[in-house]
Amino acid sequence: MGTVSCVTLPEARYDGVADFYEGSNPDSYASSPDVGLLALIGDVRDQRVLDLACGHGRISRELARRGARVTGLDLSGALLDRARAIEQQAPLGIAYVHKDVASSRALCDVVFDGVVSHFGLSDIDDLDGALGTVARVLRPGGWFVFSILHPCFPGWGPDVSASWAAGRGYYAEGWWAASAAHSTLRQRVGANHRMLSTYLNALALHGLVLNSMLEPPGPDEWRSAAPDKDPVPVFLVARCQLATNSP
């Protein structure tokens, strides 16, 4: 991966919740956003894939099991420690890198066939920097598949938080922390809310052309907590392709 420089990384919010996050995200892939993400990724045999904001390596491991040569990148050293420990116990050939994806110094000497980010973009404060890295490390025509909480999700009252801070509304972008009962992770680490147009315009700016999208429903426990609410899309999964004429 080239020379390691002594660069001070930003504070990682997930360092303080590593035990909780690993315990609540086992290596199972039956949830609607997991199914949608893996469907849009498709066949990865013999492809070089970057798992951006890989956490403790759950998606990295599944892609490696499917034949990809995987590099996982994350800002949280605590989560990477867990990913490396699992890799040591059951090797899949995954390399884990402790870097800030929004930095122009991240992964300067490597090219990937595809990049995946499963619920990572809303944790990254510098979306432009992160997508700049995605575009820079992808080969021409390479793919980028990501999932996020749907930017338009209105929430279900005190049970599940909306994509935006209570009382601020859809158009108020920025970081916020959830308070609803079932939004347990976002109570602890918060999230960056961005309008759908912000995501689409940022992708276009970096030559990442949208190919397809899915809008998976929420988990059963969320829906059962608010049976009187109209069904709405809860998650968004998208596949993009780097334009061949991108810089």
Angle at 41 between CA 115 and CA 78, to 5 degrees: 50
Question: If you average pLDDT over residues 64-81, what whole number do you get?
Answer: 95
> Does pLDDT of 247 surpass 70?
no
Topology given in CATH for the domain delimited by 13-242:
Rossmann fold (3.40.50)
Tell me the percentage of the chain whose pLDDT exceeds 70.
89
Q: Which residues of 42-59 are buried (b: 16+ CB within 10 A; e: fewer)?
A: eebeebbbbbbbbbbbbb
Do the Cβ atoms of 63 and 41 come closer than 8 Å?
Answer: yes
Domain boundaries, the chain: 13-242
Do the Cβ atoms of 193 and 127 come closer than 8 Å?
Answer: no
Question: If you average pLDDT over residues 2-11, what whole number do you get?
Answer: 50
> DSSP states of 220-243 as a string?
HHHHHH-TTSPP---EEEEEEEE-
Please give the residue that has the higher pLDDT: either 187 or 197.
Answer: 197
> Does pLDDT of 7 surpass 60?
no
- Is the model's pTM score more than 0.85? yes
